[in-house]
A and B are shown apart, each in its own frame.
Chain A
Amino acid sequence: MAIDKNEQYIDFEKPIVDLYNKIEELKRVSAETGVDMTGEIEALQQRVENLYRVTMKDLTPYQRLQIARHPKRPTTLDLISGVFEDWFEMKGDRLYRDDPSIIGGIAKLSGISVVVIGHQKGNDTKTNVYRNFGMPYPEGYRKAMRLMRHAQKFNLPLITFIDTPGAYPGIEAEERGQSNAIAESICLMSSLSVPSLAIVIGEGGSGGALAISVADRIAMFENSVYSVISPEGCASILFRDAKFANEAACALKMTSYDLLNLDIIDEIIEEPLGGAHRDKDLTILKVKECIQRNITNLLKLSEEERKMAKWKKYADMGKYSSK
């Protein structure tokens, strides 16, 4: 594991990057002068590893959000191409157009066919504009619903990858029924009886994320977030100023650890040191293991058992007291 000097890093990584640079410098000097510095270099390497581990353990929710939004973070397409042996993308909602901010299709995983749906962000300005920064229009959700029905019809397990700042708030989106598209998608997904697993891989932004997350099991990448509203939005409404996003991120309990405690999610997928983008191969291995284990377990249940368990899972969501 190493951080490239030229690579983007997040502010809390600065001391770590500095130490890495120092190690590089020592190596260079050692090579030039022929003086053996192996001891110093190893000690420094040990120090930087420890520092990185401690830093990652104590991240604030807002710092985790920065990892979740990292431009190099693996996207749905990265995971699909890494996890599955092959896949066939299915486009369009058959009503209006194809929305590139939600992708989906049928894929092969260790010999079995599954249906995959996920939000898709870009990784530079051009692709982000094309993907609308992962913010779907109603037609994205209508495409997702088409694929959910496809999974149900052919009795195929459903895997969804969640990574969106939220559904797109725009004029056309409203005119074409953003609310209704999300509501229908939530409703449909809650009624499916095929095994389903939702994995939050980056940002789980509100209703736009929930629309394709109503699964039998919900997993989250360690540094991903899942929230009723973005911390910036929450800050500007409740704290009356967007600059309180940090405070809002804490208050909203949006990290994987918070949501495991609140029984909202079922498991956390541990990320490589520094975040999923620092070691994509390891990330892919972990995702693959998570999918295989969950689908295997869900397939052991009968259709009726899965339906009942899902009903109970979402019926039990919420905390209140009774008089």
Chain B
Amino acid sequence: MLEKFFNVKKREIPGGLWTKCPNCNNAIYTRELNDNLKVCHHCNYHFRLTVQERIDITFDSFNEMFSGILPVDSLNFVDTMPYSERLKDAISKTGKEEAILVGIGTIADKQIAAGIIDFDFVGGSMGSVVGEKIFRITNYARENKLPLILFSSSGGARMQEGMLSLMQMAKTSMVVGKYKEMGGLYISVLLHPTTGGVSASFATLGDVIVAEPGALIGFAGPRVIEQTIRQKLPQGFQRSEYLLEHGMIDSVVERKALKETLKKLVTWHGY
């Protein structure tokens, strides 16, 4: 449910002059990679974007809302380290308050209520704060008749908050359900990886669901499935293209086409 679960290479974010693609192993000139929205032009591997980068490539402007909602260690949870320490680490490492940023973005002067999960913050896991912020931005979208776009990349529910985190699945699914029932357009964008309690709640409830190429999307992580069934998983299992083939998402959209696609979808639905 966390980073190591997916064998995500920690230092795949381009830093130096050259960046090695973790998928095809080719060295890419970092500036070229950045100009290409961090997509490898050898193999189309989509590097992870930071929340700020995601905002920059998607919206013309963005105003954060509902900041200042902070996590608490209600269970006094201790595993290899206390949860409170883990939170401090995540805050100092990412400079963020929590694993989600919500607000109002604009694309071509259209206002859009949006939420972006930050995978770098405790694996993008959903605890009470992520649930509350999704709850508030979705209600805001309903009250102000705005379209809603949520970008997900998460290992699932945040185990360190126990049942409080599981209940965020109910809270977010309920609020998204009401928003849709009242006529709102909810577009869910699935990014690498989206699994567990996030994929089994609001992330798969979109009126329209799109995914970036090659994203791992599923309920159970591949290792858990392999251990359960004791056999090798098929090629491309749980990747965006596989979900498309099995009817679980509407479209696989290249990063460079994502903004245009979202703009089209929002306007075509009458916003």
A contact residues vs B (CB 8 Å cutoff): 167-171, 173-180, 182-184, 186-188, 190-191, 206-207, 210, 214, 226-229, 233-234, 237-240, 248, 251-254, 259, 262, 264, 311, 314-315, 317-323
Contacts and interface: CB of A to CB of B under 8 A. Distances in A.
Interface residues of B, number: 66
B248 A228 contact: no
Contacts of A311: 174, 178
A210 B165 CA distance: 12
Contacts of A228: 157, 159, 161-163, 165-166, 197
Interface centre among B157, B165, B205, B219 (most CB of A within 10 A): B219
Nearest to B246: A175
B220 interface: yes
Contact of A227 (B79, B132, B163): B163
Interface of B: 1-2, 5, 67-72, 74-75, 77-80, 127-129, 131-132, 135, 157, 159-171, 173-178, 181, 196-197, 199-205, 217-220, 224-225, 228-229, 233-234, 237-238, 246-248
B80 A259 contact: no
A237 B227 CA distance: 14
B177 A210 contact: no
B228 to A, nearest CB: 5
Nearest to A135: B228
B75 A187 contact: no
B162 to A, nearest CB: 5
25 contacts: A170-B220, A171-B237, A177-B246, A177-B247, A179-B203, A184-B205, A186-B173, A186-B201, A188-B177, A227-B162, A228-B163, A228-B166, A234-B79, A237-B2, A311-B178, A315-B135, A315-B174, A318-B131, A318-B132, A318-B168, A320-B69, A320-B72, A321-B72, A322-B70, A323-B68
Contacts, number: 199
**Minimum-distance CB pairs A-B, first 6:** A169-B220, A318-B128, A323-B68, A190-B174, A317-B167, A238-B79
Contacts of B205: 180, 183-184, 187
Contacts of A321: 69-72
Contacts of A253: 75, 162-163
A264 B167 contact: yes
Given A184-B205, A186-B201, A187-B173, A319 B166 contact: no
